[in-house]
Amino acid sequence: MSTDAANPAHCGTDVMASLDDDGPESRLVIADISTDDAWMSVTEADATPLSAWR
């Protein structure tokens, strides 16, 4: 899997990440809040630590 970031198709994106711990397991949620329905989530246990991306 490539870790190279793709250039956005349009300017003005606003991407945020948050750890949602409401529920039986914590989830990492990543969303582009400038685009409708542009989000993804993964369990905290399955999320890759930032240090592993370096």
Nearest-5° Cα angle at 54, 25 to 47: 10
The count of residues in the chain is: 54
Tell me, yes or no, if the pTM score tops 0.95. no
Per-residue pLDDT at 1: 47
Per-residue pLDDT at 29: 94
Round to whole Å and give the CA distance between 7 and 4: 10
CA 2 to chain centre: 16
pLDDT tens digits for 1-54?
455 666 656 667 789 999 998 888 999 999 999 889 999 999 988 988 888 877
